[in-house]
Amino acid sequence: MSADSLRNSALSARIGSPVPEPTLAAGNLVKLKMACSHCHLREVCLPVGLTREQITLLEQIVYTRRRLKKGETLYRAGDPFRSLYAIRSGFFKARAATPDGRDQVTGFQMAGELIGMDGISHETHTCDSIALEDSEVCVVPFNMLEDLSVQAPALGHHFHKVMSREIVREHGVMLLLGSMRAEERLAAFLLNLSQRLAARGFSATEFVLRMTREEIGSHLGLKLETVSRAFSKFQDDGMIAVKQKHVQILEMERLRKLLTNGSRSTHD
């Protein structure tokens, strides 16, 4: 048997022996009833180009899911990093402490997205991940994922792209906070949410906000009153219709134009 065959056999044996997730409450764990190959989020969650054999290997490490109630924490800042989590259903917010001791929402994540990558660098999580509604995640043990990436380079490349996307997203938030007016920040937030929902087969123009106005403000660096005023102005101008948490985008191009004009005025 060749050295490569021996290595792959050893990796397969390791992947085939699930490791318990010590940080998860047993009552919240469920056996995986649907394989990755049959999941409706496969095209969003998995990279294009994986072979049937590679997907089968992935299914061997994604062997449990965790269910969380609204308000429950998936992990907290300071917890040891062991796994990544693919959101199967629901919505999450990431919350981190600022240098002056305040809590700030650093992002919102939805079905088909991967969370937990904040813990890779220092092997401890740097933020809290909290469910904004009843949710379910697939648990992906990171040490097994690293082994699998050796056998399936396309998978490793995919996760590198995911991590790069998160860096770009954080950079985008910094630009929002540094160079945009309140209305432009809210427009950018709504357009980004619309695009992400559309990529998952949902309506791009009509959706329910899972987060509060206060959480949106925390994410965008705005006060609650400012966020409320911006929503009201958009509605008065006929760009959106708002009823509590239900939002309908009526004039998508006007929202985009608001950002374009804001960008031009910033560079003038």
Residue pLDDT tens, the chain, 268 long: 444 443 444 444 444 444 444 344 434 544 444 567 777 676 667 666 677 777 777 777 887 889 999 999 999 999 999 999 989 999 999 999 888 888 999 999 999 888 998 898 899 999 999 999 999 999 989 998 888 888 778 777 777 777 777 777 666 666 766 778 999 999 999 999 999 999 888 999 999 999 999 999 999 999 999 999 999 999 999 999 999 999 999 999 999 998 877 555 544 4
What's the pLDDT score for residue 64? 85
Amino acid at 232: S
Q: Which two tokens stand for residue 224?
A: 């609650």
For the chain, the domains span 3-162, 180-267
pLDDT of residue 43: 64
The pLDDT value given to residue 15? 43
CATH number of 180-267: 1.10.10.10
Strands of the 103-110 sheet, one edge to the other:
73-75, 128-131, 91-97, 103-110
pTM: 0.80
Give the residue from 40, 98, 31 showing the smallest Cα distance to 65.
31
Q: Using an 8 Å Cβ cutoff, are 91 and 102 in contact? A: no
| pLDDT value, residue 127 | 94
Determine the topology of domain 3-162 in CATH.
Jelly Rolls (2.60.120)
